[in-house]
Amino acid sequence: MSLPEAVGRRLRHRILNNELPAGTRLVEANLAAEFGVSRGTIRDAMRGLQSEGLIEIVPRRYSIVTRMSMQDAEDVCYARYVLEDASVAGGLGQRRKDLSRSLRLALEHMSAAARTDDLDALVDSDTRFHELLIDISGRSRLKDLWSMLDSQMGALMRSAVERQGIGLIDAVDRHRQLLDAVESGDVDRLRRAIRDHYLEGFPEHAAELGRPPRADTPA
């Protein structure tokens, strides 16, 4: 891990765990002094955080902690839904039991992170959980497209938790229907669970789901 990556990781942890809430100004000179690094290192770290959707950079002034908009959240969720649905549509084959065990382990790690109120760690476990679903197809290009969205998941989940006003345990519980569907071996049920997981909170997709829109957004 490079120095800018290490600094960015520490700032990311603070942002996701709301130690640096939305609206907080991040000043290069102050951060450089705090971390004992150059302002160039801070700028590189900031560019990484900007690409993750966690901050907005105001040129020659400062950066500010932001939250992902509802529209951007919908775009990310819809893209992930399409890719994960395509991955499982061909079935789970002989790997279903191994997949179930791996998903359960990822869910246990998510629960542990939630109990310590560590959204940063929860995002890592959430990424692993969904990566298992995308890997089931064995299609490398599908995985490449899915991976391009990984960096946005921290911003998505931070924004979703605040917008919904829920705890991290609730965010974890919303993954249990996916695990249950895998364990059942019912691919149609799993595809519905993936669709609901990603799209249920967005009004534009309420008709597609066949139910009234909820006020919250899955992550």
Q: Tell me: pLDDT of 212 over 50.
A: no
- At 205, is the pLDDT very low, low, confident or very high (cuts 50, 70, 90)? low
Residues 36 and 125 in one domain: no
Residues 169 and 131 in one domain: yes
- Tens-digit pLDDT profile for residues 37-68: 999 999 999 999 999 999 999 887 789 999 99
- Tens-digit pLDDT profile for residues 170-185: 999 999 999 999 999 9
Q: Tell me: pLDDT of 216 over 60.
A: no
Rounded average pLDDT over 102-112 = 97
% of the chain surpassing 70 pLDDT? 92
Each as own residue / partner, the long-range contacts of residues 172-181 (CB below 8 Å, 24 or more positions apart, any chain) are 172/107, 172/110, 172/111, 172/114, 172/122, 174/218, 174/219, 175/107, 175/110, 175/126, 175/129, 176/107, 178/103, 178/129, 178/133, 179/100, 179/103, 179/104, 179/107
What pLDDT is recorded for position 127? 95
Rounded average pLDDT over 3-25 = 95
Q: What is the CATH number of the domain that holds 105?
A: 1.20.120.530
What pLDDT is recorded for position 214? 46
Give the integer Cα–Cα distance in Å for 49 and 64.
11
Residues 174 and 101 in one domain: yes
Residue at token pair 């900031």: 46
% of the chain surpassing 90 pLDDT? 79
**With the C-alpha atoms ordered 48, 51, 52, 53, is the resulting torsion angle positive or negative?**
positive
Residues 89 and 37 in one domain: no
Comparing CA positions, the residue from 200, 130, 122 lying closest to residue 154 is 122
Of 47, 65, 83, the residue that ends a domain is: 65
The number of distinct structural domains making up the chain is 2
Residues 106 and 192 in one domain: yes
State the residue range of the domain holding 11.
Answer: 3-65
| Residue 122 belongs to some domain of the structure | yes
Q: How confident is the prediction for the chain on average, in pLDDT?
A: 90
* 58: DSSP letter: E
